[in-house]
Amino acid sequence: MSDDLVKPCPFCGSNVVIDVSDDLTTGAFVCDQKSTCIESGLLTGFNMAFKDSAIAAWNTRADRIEVLEKALTNMQREYDKRGDRIEELEAQLSKKMDEDAYIAELEYKLDAAEAELANAVEAAYCEGFAEGYGGEWIEGDYSKPWRKSVAFAELKGEQP
C-alpha cells in the first residue's frame, strides 16, 4: 500500500505522510508541518513489518465529521445536564430568597409588635396600671421588673 492511500488526519484534517526511521524498523503517520498535531507533538507510530495493517487501521477509523458530530453531541448532552442543574439551583436560590424575605418581614412585624407592647406597658405604668396586682405601690417608681412582667402578662392575656 502506498502513502497516497493514507486518509487525512482525523484530528487536524491535514494530509498525512508516513515517516520512516533511519533503521527502517518503525514508521509514523505525520501531519503537514502547519498542523496543530505537529505543534502539539501528537504522533502515531507503528512497526514497519506491519505497515499495510497500520495503514488499513489508520484508514478505517471514523471520518472526522463523524468524530466531531459525536463530540458535539456528547458536549451538548453535558451542557444540557449542567443547564438543568443550574436551573434547579436557581429555583432553590429563588425559593430560599423568598423564604428569607418572608422571615425578614415576620421579624419586622414581631419587632414592631414588641415595640408597641413595650410602649403600651410604659404607658400603663404612667397611668398607674400596675397598682393593685398584689405588689405594693411605690409612688413615682415604675421601673420595678416584677411590675413590668405583670403588665406584660396582663396585656398578653396571661395570668400575672
pLDDT tens-place string over residues 34-73: 888 877 777 788 999 999 999 998 888 666 677 788 888 8
Expressed as residue numbers, the domain containing 44 is: 3-61
Q: Which string of b and e fits 23-48 if b means at least 16 CB within 10 Å?
A: eeeebebbbeeebebbeeeeebebee
In the chain, how many domains are there?
Answer: 1
Question: What is the three-class DSSP state of 28?
Answer: strand
CA distance 118 to 143: 12
C-alpha cell at 17: 505522510
pLDDT in tens, 78-92: 888 888 888 888 888
The answer to whether residue 25 is domain-embedded is yes
How far apart CA 101 and CA 95 sit, in angstroms, is 10
In which residue are the cell numbers 405601690 written?
Answer: 137
Residues 45 and 20: their CA atoms lie apart, in Å, by 10
pTM: 0.37
* Rounded-to-integer distance, Cα 107 and Cα 101, Å: 10
Residue 12 placed within a domain: yes
